[in-house]
Structure 1
Amino acid sequence: MKTFKIASIPGDGIGKEVVPAANKVLKTIADIHGGIQFNFTDFPWSCEHYLEHGEMMPEDALERLQNFDSIFLGAVGNLKLVPDHISLWGMLIKIRREFEQVINIRPAKVLKGIRSPLLNPKDFDLIVVRENSEGEYSSVGGNIYKGEDEIAIQNAIFSRKATERAMRFAFELASKRKKHVTSATKSNGIYYSMPFWDSVFEDVSKDYSEIQTDSQHIDALAAFFVTRPHQFDVIVASNLFGDILTDLGAGIMGSVGVAPAANINVNGKYPSMFEPVHGSAPDIVGKGIANPIGQIWTAKMMLDHFGEEELGSVLLDVVESVTNDSILTPDVGGNYTTEEVTNEIIKRLKIVEKQGV
């Protein structure tokens, strides 16, 4: 039997509602399979933890996390308690950087039964590969002077190593899909980093002659996500561009509540981290209506990462059978609770088990 050790960090807001829901689904998956099991260890790190201890997580947090097979995160942030730059850099980004989670991947597709705000979404199915370690989100810069002369300097860092790594990941992913990679650029407006990005993309593409490519300026690409998302397969983007595109991808699916994500460590030194795209949603905390699908789809991505792609596919199929029968939370037009949607997914997983699928 394969045992996967999971560090479960519900975090803030609805993370405390959807992570336990997804953990229940994963335990059901393990019961169905019989050959795997999940050992969850819960960590209470959050903005509330910060208020009590003056830190988002303990000094030895990374040491404690590094021996897990993966990290399953809910949400980080509560502006009423802690400024975002403290909460995010104190936990989420710290884990990403220190554990060398250099690739962020976020799929977006039409889910059966969930109405896209697009008039004719044409069953789009795309995935964004986001460089996750540097780019526009580097911590290089500073502030000088005060008053009307104050200046804030933020440096974007683009290394060939990290840029090429993200692009090769995208090409390898495309080779298993529809064999097309789109590069998100802005070389007509950003003088140094984006022409460099374009040059590396051209170099990498030479090693993948079977993959079709194109390059789109980010402003036009954002528009195309709305007008013709079905034409895209894999999109590779810088840290900032990938972040924006994937929120837009969640939007055209119908709700940020259904969007999954994975932060991938590619060298095997540290665990990868799986988290939904949505935030802590303080406006609906405690109401029992948070959409669990983003976290559950994220669990599917974790199964894929563990090499359990067949189980991951079964899980997503079951999720779509539930959404197709209009068992939905209010954010996507339904009137079901978090618990009701989760329990229906679990019920149908057990039916799949009985059918021997």
Structure 2
Amino acid sequence: MAKSNTRLELTWIGKENRPKLEPRILVEDPEKSYHATQRVTDNDIFDNRLIFGDNLLALKALEQEFGGRIKCIYIDPPFNTGSAFEHYDDGVEHSLWLALMRDRFESLRRLMTNDGLFFLHLDDGEMAYAKVLLDEVFGRFNYCNTICMTTNDPSGFKATGATVFSTANYLLVYAKDKSTAPMRKVFIEKSYDTAYSKVLADRAASYDRWSWEGINDVVARELGFDSVRTAKREVGDAFEDEVARFAVTNAERVFQTAAIGGGAAIKRAATIRQSMQERQRVFVHPGEDVPDFYILNGRQILFYDKRLIEIDGRRIPGEIVTDVWTDISWNGISNEGSVEFKNGEALAKPRVTWAARP
């Protein structure tokens, strides 16, 4: 019996039809050019380029010079919502949209370094189809992640319809060769967590001699005031900024207490009970495969220094970037560059940081 060569793939009308691309030469317009004054390294690609013309022809023209050299690609194609915008048509027949995307995905892949990353931004209208299409172009084994981003505020006028309010956009992330492009952890800056509201007088002392007071009281005293109320009245909103700065500077002494649950509570049940009976006294439960647990009033002591990270040489509060992004403000970013487009530059830095590994 003959072996079948068929495979599972996304099909559409006209899939076998591919455009015949004639070679194009990119011609610089000197009147619109701007060049940096110096190179940073000898390997720098010195000139950025803004290309006017059909993007598929432009990609083809770039392949000869940049094939295999691009580390990170982010594209934000038309979502195919059926709308007509001033600068582009966002409603084409579904099969045509798939063909247009397939040809561009393939060309973009040829531009990438082996350890390069590719990001595709879409909403739920075409995202699922694009996922299958990218599996075909990049290989399913080179799929890295799907990131969900919240993009609209449900309190606005858009939320008045009868259907479930849509607030999600998606980033499909692929590597050209996932085995050579492990995505490292990325952190983002967060504001001071006011739950960390207590300060140890001396953490270096034995834990059974620890004493503490409220962070607001400590900061007010350091600012020369006899009470928090007076400090807030005299300093105003800047008092909260002073508290946040103090918390970072003294993070090894600043702490909060948190409930202990699950297996951790079962293992430490006796210590927790004793702590609740002898309140305002610190107990320690020696760690086996984890650091020692410091327990106060039946709750675990958590120090603020564990919440700090280093970004651009600064020690700041932060958290790891996950596959759900809710921290990006979309208000006003559609006008970045003085042209009305759906999305803005505020999204770029986390992606570039993710891809531009040392």
TM-score, normalising length: structure 2: 0.24
In proportion to residue count, which structure has more helix?
1
Q: Max radius of gyration: which structure? A: 2
**1 or 2 for the larger relative contact order (CA 8 Å, sep ≥6)?**
1
**TM-score for both structures, normalised by structure 1:** 0.24
